Amino acid sequence: MNKAWLTSLAFTIIVSHFYAHETSYLDLDSSSFEFEFSKADLLGQISPASHPSFSNVPIRLCSRSGVYLRTEVLEAFEGLYSAASDEGIELIIVSGMRNFNHQKSIWERKWERPQYMGWSKVSKAIDILTYSSMPGSSRHHWGTDFDLNSLDNNFFESGDGLIIYDFLSRCAGEFGFKQVYSDDVNRTGYKEEKWHWSYMPIAEEMLKAYNSTISIDDFSGFNGSSVADSIDVLKLYVNGIDLCDFK
């Protein structure tokens, strides 16, 4: 497709909210949100601090300052956080929106690891992709996804971590959240991430917009971008999510 045409393309999407639940503050039954996703939004080439759709996450909800999410995502998370608090559980956002440059710094730091001396570019990229996204392909770019409490699956398998994970498995769907990198055997791409949760009412629409707008030609500007096509990053990773209903 013509690149100039793609660049100018933006999507206006009305999200019909069939994610009915009993939490009245969001009133998802009767409202609809209008979103416009630019290519920059989808590739994370934005600054959330100056983007009108994003809000700064209050420090009481996260492990550090300077965390941003889309405003509707933050509102939904406040509901989930309160429900957890009612059960004596403390949810902590350890990572929220990460833009392209942030993801590029994570990716390139791994790309330069001495352990990869002698590896082919494809093998190196696939190894890094176990848990880390290629810049331009991360759901963290969208402001719909965040990581909770610990970046270690083992944490969620016993003690406080298991209590947190059980709560999330039971309740997160009511607020629109889903663990997209699940243990579903039909899924491709990243390994299971029990810490990574996605706000589906917006993320599903962003994935549709991404699939219509972004091509492999958009992967550039970082070390290793040339192998994005060979490893089929769009099909296997961007679309390698759990497609089961999340309720």
List contacts with Zn ion (CB under 5 A).
147, 196
H/E stretch holding 199: strand 196-199
CB closer to Zn ion out of 180 and 214 = 180
Q: Residues 6 or more apart from 101 whose CB is under 8 A from it?
A: 135
Is 141 or 196 the residue whose CB approaches Zn ion more closely?
Answer: 196
- What residues form DSSP beta bridges with 14? 34
| Of residues 145 and 205, the one with the C-beta less far from Zn ion | 145
Could you tell me the two tokens for 131? Answer: 């848990």
Q: How far is the CB of 217 from Zn ion (least distance, A)?
A: 26
Query: Smallest gap, in angstroms, from Cβ of residue 53 to Zn ion?
Result: 19
Q: What whole-number distance in Å separates Cα of residue 180 and Cα of residue 142?
A: 14
> Do 199 and 109 contact (CB within 8 A), yes or no?
no
Q: Give min distance, CB of 95 to Zn ion, in A.
A: 6
Kindly state the smallest distance separating residue 99's Cβ from Zn ion, in Å: 14
What the block records as the tokens of 207 is: 């994935």
The distance of closest approach from Cβ of residue 97 to Zn ion in the complex, given in angstroms and rounded to an integer, is: 11
Nearer to Zn ion (CB atom), residue 33 or residue 131:
131
- Rounded Cα–Cα distance for residues 241 and 154 (Å): 21
Residue 193 C-beta: closest distance to Zn ion, Å: 6
Kindly tell me which of 147 and 204 has the beta carbon lying closer to Zn ion.
Answer: 147
Give the residue with the Cβ less far from Zn ion, 81 or 190. Answer: 190
Per-residue DSSP letter, 36: E
221: left (phi over 0), alpha (psi -120 to 50) or beta: left
φ and ψ at residue 14, rounded to 5 degrees: -90, 125
Least separation in angstroms between residue 223's CB and Zn ion is 21
Q: For residue 210, give every residue at least 6 positions away whose Cβ sits within 8 Å of its Cβ, in sequence order, or none.
A: 42, 238
Tell me the residue nearest to Zn ion as measured from the CB: 196
Q: Is 14 helix (H, G, I), strand (E, B) or coil?
A: strand
Collapsing DSSP to helix, strand or coil, 197 comes out as: strand
Q: 84 vs 148, which CB is nearer to Zn ion?
A: 148
Alpha-carbon distance 13 to 36, whole Å?
6
